[in-house]
Chain A
């Protein structure tokens, strides 16, 4: 591990100040960053520990929920308001990693965690994300866990988070603060598609700190869910995951819907085309299937991950069917 300096930030302003140092990085629970430092994939010169910053989980007057970025994943998953009003989020967190890792991992760190592409992890391999211009060894290599949507010739990696997929479905807003002041953006705008610069993963400017994530009031979120499909029962990243919320009117038509996919792209994938196809239509298996097809029409599988297209289709249909209950 490269020698580095370490400082614990007392408040947001201090954190942003400290992060101005060359090669500085924020440190949450360290469950991702420290692993990558051990592999010498990340070589920060300074670490700014932000686990002492806001970690409260608070109900908002407008019916929303504000979660401090330093909140631990376990605390979020167990929180009563999350479990009752945004169950998809609770389930997504519990489907991820292990109990020990969730106890350490922070919300901010989970959002900013990096891909699990094995070529990214191996500095003997070509990886444009790790070493821009080095090429991508995953495109013709082991790419079973890689992207089917929104990838580029430069990068086919996926964003590995479960939590983010639920947030994407639940219209979450990310609050950030940086040297240039505070701003908010939709979670689905936070992560970028790889394009020609897979090394740039989010729209955050250097030194910008995630301070909180806000879940707006959303009635149908109380009937939201998350389903993760993976290679073993636990402790594996998603091959495909689906976060969804569904509101079915008395007449059996779909009132409102939220749908997001994990394991398919360089970012948590909000399935807007599927949502558009569903809204106002009948809550039937065939319309679920049509919606899934609509979302996956541009899917571009690689040599080993073609199954993900079919798996995504089936999982979307199953999750929507489950939410629709008898209606479907």
Chain B
């Protein structure tokens, strides 16, 4: 069962009506459309000119600026909160604390309902209780940001601290099994894996540790909000528009129709731009002050109120037979979480689908801690799960004296190893082979420490990348054709810099048989038909499915409009295709009428159709995943342990590539983030206080340009016949496998195995 099925089942009263297996999307076979071309980003020029308006830039008459005061203890109560001096400071409009905040319902946490967006279900500023170090305890509104920041610094808070659960090691001793891991079982047992491991010809049994990561998108979280009577207007940086609206309606006790959220541009989401406390506080403060509020989090604010990737300990044990097949695959471990959210960092997901094995034990546990709720961060689970699994595979290959790629050949399953489903489209070995050829894998010296230039030890490593195919339920789209032969495709989708607007314009153009310049893609607004969460790399196909449904409906309406005087007369919707700016019979060139002609004859300015996407039944029948092979060359200083990644290549199998330029950027961006994961990213969570100690980009290290070599990306471009457009999402797979590829390359260079991220130089001395 997947996240999507769970959402379907929890949707009250909705009886999933499964459609018979649909034939492949017609667009898959199209060769001459816009899909597949490297159209530059439609939003690019506006961004370069500074015309793209982000949430913290929206003007409003009488705007006030917000600053947050964060708690300095992890658990306990606010004893005193002296705001007198702050209230007297210049420009102060309002100080909101738990004492005067409006009464609010707690947010519905993500996954508790298909429509929920709350990052946690903790009440927001409703009483003196403190739940994590950094929790907002006061909001200051002032006429300028500087005045708000200054006034905030004058508030004196004291606390009654209570014992908090801050040690992950201790919390792990009391870990629990979550009800599910994003709708999938928390434990999978096939056969007796421990016994098979014990009896296997070759064994590795390893422990890995991965740290916390914080979101660090270029745009810090921000919202500009105001009330118009009982209506609420929000300019947010979000990747879940409709879910945010539904959740806010519950918190503030108003109907969804009263809330409008705009989010046309998001400066990077990566899973972090959901509904946190800052939007709720801004709306509450705006209500109290009766004025618009801009809540632009400081960089420190992002670290303190928006969670990131949680920390894990993982065990991977592999038992191999002499022929290189696996007798046992064990991947278990524990993640830190809170009792207020449901993000168990699905690190065992890769092991559920990647390799054949005689027996499996895959188990996830959670350790409850008093900390800021963790959340999704680019390939949550898969990024760090592949680090452990793919490092272990490399160690096994070494123990067996097998080339790591050859080992993967021997482990290639015929069907999904845990679900038994057929693969919809799996060409992982092809990706390995193409990558190996291009990267020069044959040049690798299998003996560690075998290559050296001066003080630099050089090594190569490889690892598999993988990410599930998701298509989210609940998306709708509206397609409109106007009399001038132009079209608008509308859905409340999200453009976070991935290229959504561009690719959807391309897909819309091909779907409607129009040149891409004739198609406008409207998105980022809850007034449009509901979109789905831009998460799980699912948005491209989720939107495509809704647009396909709306287009089919529109074509039927156009045929009705065309009537009996049209060359199309007598053709049903299934018999025509959209081409050349109109509809026509696929083979009979003369049976064609342009949209301009149909609408003109019918005396219509425009025709519009709206439809929901069909249920994502494809994932119930097939095991649908993307794959890849990550190749890395590192140079490690034998003197200092410094690691320099000198070459990197990612070879991907992610269905049909819709726009090579956007795809390359997504893959590269994921790989760069993976280099950070491998070598430097770590949120310093002080287990004495629960405080994050490096909430700044000076001390929270992400790769700088000099850390990133030229990264080559290639792909199979094989369409998945069971996916809309033949495509898979590509936003997250790029980060998966990178940690292991780097770690394996470091081992090849130095002979050292580091199973504890990040691989900083001290671990290599």
Mark A132-153 against chain B: 1 for CB-CB distance below 8 A, else 0. 0000010011101000000000
How distant is B157 from chain A, measured CB to nearest CB, in Å? 10
How distant is B296 from chain A, measured CB to nearest CB, in Å? 14
Q: Given A122-B693, A124-B72, A232-B701, does the pair A314, B639 have CB atoms closer than 8 Å? A: yes
Cα distance A122–B696 in the bound complex, in angstroms: 11
What are 15 A-B residue pairs whose CB atoms fall within 8 Å in the complex? Answer: A1-B150, A38-B149, A118-B699, A122-B693, A137-B686, A140-B688, A142-B694, A229-B640, A229-B642, A234-B706, A236-B701, A239-B762, A310-B765, A314-B639, A314-B765
Contact (Cβ within 8 A) A229 B455: no
Contact (Cβ within 8 A) B644 A231: no
Q: Given A116-B699, A232-B680, A311-B761, does the pair A124, B689 have CB atoms closer than 8 Å? A: yes
Contact (Cβ within 8 A) B704 A116: no
Cα distance A118–B639 in the bound complex, in angstroms: 28
In addition to A118-B694, A125-B693, A232-B707, 7 A-B residue pairs with Cβ atoms within 8 Å of each other are A40-B153, A137-B688, A144-B762, A231-B701, A231-B761, A307-B762, A311-B765
Cα distance A307–B763 in the bound complex, in angstroms: 9
B698 within 8 A of A: yes
A315 within 8 A of B: yes
How distant is B315 from chain A, measured CB to nearest CB, in Å? 25
Cα distance A317–B637 in the bound complex, in angstroms: 14
Residue of B nearest to A229 (CB): B640
How distant is A238 from chain B, measured CB to nearest CB, in Å? 11
Q: Which of B681-703 contact A (CB under 8 A)?
A: 684, 686, 688-689, 691, 693-694, 696, 698-699, 701, 703
**Residues from chain A with Cβ under 8 Å of B698 in the complex:** 116
State which size class the interface on A falls in. 20 to 34
Cα distance A230–B643 in the bound complex, in angstroms: 10
A235 within 8 A of B: yes
Contact (Cβ within 8 A) B679 A141: no
Q: Given A118-B694, A229-B640, A232-B679, does the pair A2, B455 have CB atoms closer than 8 Å? A: no
**Residues from chain B with Cβ under 8 Å of A314 in the complex:** 639-640, 765
Q: Which of B26-84 contact A (CB under 8 A)?
A: 72
Q: Which of A92-117 contact B (CB under 8 A)?
A: 116
Main SS at interface, chain B = loop
Contact (Cβ within 8 A) B706 A233: yes
B575 within 8 A of A: no
B126 within 8 A of A: no
Q: Given A231-B701, A233-B644, A314-B639, does the pair A118, B762 have CB atoms closer than 8 Å? A: no
Residue of A nearest to B642 (CB): A229
Contact (Cβ within 8 A) A141 B686: yes
**Residues from chain A with Cβ under 8 Å of B696 in the complex:** 121
Q: Which of A224-267 contact B (CB under 8 A)?
A: 229-236, 239-240
**Residues from chain B with Cβ under 8 Å of A1 in the complex:** 146, 149-150
B325 within 8 A of A: no
Cα distance A230–B637 in the bound complex, in angstroms: 12
Main SS at interface, chain A = loop
> How many B residues have CB within 8 A of the partner chain?
35
Mark B744-765 against chain A: 1 for CB-CB distance below 8 A, else 0. 0000000000000000111001
Residue of A nearest to B73 (CB): A124
Residue of A nearest to B72 (CB): A124
Mark B642-658 against chain A: 1 for CB-CB distance below 8 A, else 0. 10100000000000000
Contact (Cβ within 8 A) B688 A142: no
Residue of B nearest to A119 (CB): B693
Q: Which of A270-328 contact B (CB under 8 A)?
A: 307, 310-311, 314-315, 317-318
A22 within 8 A of B: no
**Residues from chain A with Cβ under 8 Å of B149 in the complex:** 1, 38
Cα distance A142–B692 in the bound complex, in angstroms: 11
A3 within 8 A of B: yes
Q: Which of A18-64 contact B (CB under 8 A)?
A: 38, 40
Contact (Cβ within 8 A) A3 B693: no
How distant is A68 from chain B, measured CB to nearest CB, in Å? 28
Kindly identify which residue among A124, A230, A310 contacts B691, using a CB–CB cutoff of 8 Å: A124
Contact (Cβ within 8 A) B689 A235: no
Mark B621-650 against chain A: 1 for CB-CB distance below 8 A, else 0. 000000000000000000111101000000
Residue of B nearest to A124 (CB): B72
Contact (Cβ within 8 A) B761 A239: yes
Cα distance A307–B765 in the bound complex, in angstroms: 8
Q: Given A142-B686, A307-B762, does the pair A125, B691 have CB atoms closer than 8 Å? A: yes
Cα distance A235–B706 in the bound complex, in angstroms: 10
Residue of A nearest to B675 (CB): A232
**Residues from chain A with Cβ under 8 Å of B639 in the complex:** 314-315, 317-318
Cα distance A140–B693 in the bound complex, in angstroms: 13
Kindly identify which residue among B72, B455, B689, B704 contacts A233, using a CB–CB cutoff of 8 Å: B704
Q: Given A1-B146, A140-B688, does the pair A231, B640 have CB atoms closer than 8 Å? A: no
Residue of A nearest to B762 (CB): A307
Cα distance A141–B686 in the bound complex, in angstroms: 7
Cα distance A125–B686 in the bound complex, in angstroms: 10
How distant is A302 from chain B, measured CB to nearest CB, in Å? 13
**Residues from chain B with Cβ under 8 Å of A124 in the complex:** 72, 133, 689, 691
Cα distance A40–B698 in the bound complex, in angstroms: 17
**Residues from chain B with Cβ under 8 Å of A137 in the complex:** 686, 688-689
Q: Which of B387-423 contact A (CB under 8 A)?
A: none
How distant is B717 from chain A, measured CB to nearest CB, in Å? 34
How distant is B435 from chain A, measured CB to nearest CB, in Å? 25
Q: Given A1-B150, A318-B455, does the pair A235, B704 have CB atoms closer than 8 Å? A: yes
How distant is A6 from chain B, measured CB to nearest CB, in Å? 14
Q: Given A229-B640, A307-B765, A315-B640, does the pair A118, B706 have CB atoms closer than 8 Å? A: no
How distant is A96 from chain B, measured CB to nearest CB, in Å? 12
Choose among B640, B699, B705 the residue with the greatest number of A CB atoms under 10 Å from its CB: B640
How distant is B366 from chain A, measured CB to nearest CB, in Å? 25
Q: Which of B97-152 contact A (CB under 8 A)?
A: 133, 146, 149-150
**Residues from chain A with Cβ under 8 Å of B686 in the complex:** 137, 141-142
Contact (Cβ within 8 A) A233 B688: no
Residue of A nearest to B702 (CB): A232
**Residues from chain A with Cβ under 8 Å of B641 in the complex:** 311
How distant is A268 from chain B, measured CB to nearest CB, in Å? 20
Mark A1-20 against chain B: 1 for CB-CB distance below 8 A, else 0. 11100000000000000000
